[in-house]
Amino acid sequence: MTTSIIAGSTGLIGGNVIEVLSKQKQSAIALTRISIPNLPPEITEMIIDFDAFQKNGSLPSCNNVFICLGTTIKAAGSKENFRKVDIDYCVSIAKKAKESGAETLSLISSIGANSSSKNFYLKTKGELEEAVQELGFSTVNIFRPSFLVGERPEKRLAEKIAIKFAKFMDLFLTGSASKYRSVKAESLAKTMVSKVDSKPGVNYFYFDDFFK
């Protein structure tokens, strides 16, 4: 039986991945700091302390791992803490999933990710992409969306305004610029689950690859 690990299970994308997997009656383990209410019967939660987990944690046997974990500079409080979540935690979970049998890794990154970028966010995402590629997974699926749209647990006024602006800008992003269009979280999650059986190697996915 196929079992997936989901890191970032309470986030926008992770939550949608859980929903997609449960609708397909696929079993999964949601990594979380706190208990998740109303989980579908196919999903088991695994409550962890990420710092302790890095040092001596382990994961149950699994086939796939979805890395949907991430934060913001504002929430992290500093660039150092941001890197801790977006690189250290993610790589640690990926390593332990590989040790537990996972052969496919699916990673949420960002359009423009580049380890040589002068932009801190894009540089961090680029470094994460490179780090997970060195772990020995048979298949690494890297998803590079632009602005993500969806219902988050917390309501952010600035984000609501940004979503409206993004939808307006989408009208002008055509041709080669279409990869910068906003992406619905539900569509991205469906695509991530559908691509688990992609060809071996490193596969990149952009706006035109996502379910519309």
Q: Which residues are catalytic?
A: 121, 125
Helix axis angle, 90-99 to 120-133, nearest 10°: 10
Full DSSP string of 46-62: EE--HHHHHHH----S-
Enter the tokens of residue 190.
């469906």
Determine the Cα–Cα distance for residues 5 and 24; give it in Å rounded to an integer: 15
- Counting every residue written for the chain, the total comes to 212
Contact predicate 62/101, CB 8 Å: yes
Q: What angle do CA 186, 87, 68 make, to 5 degrees?
A: 15
State whether residue 159 is helix, strand or coil: helix
Determine the Cα–Cα distance for residues 10 and 35; give it in Å rounded to an integer: 10
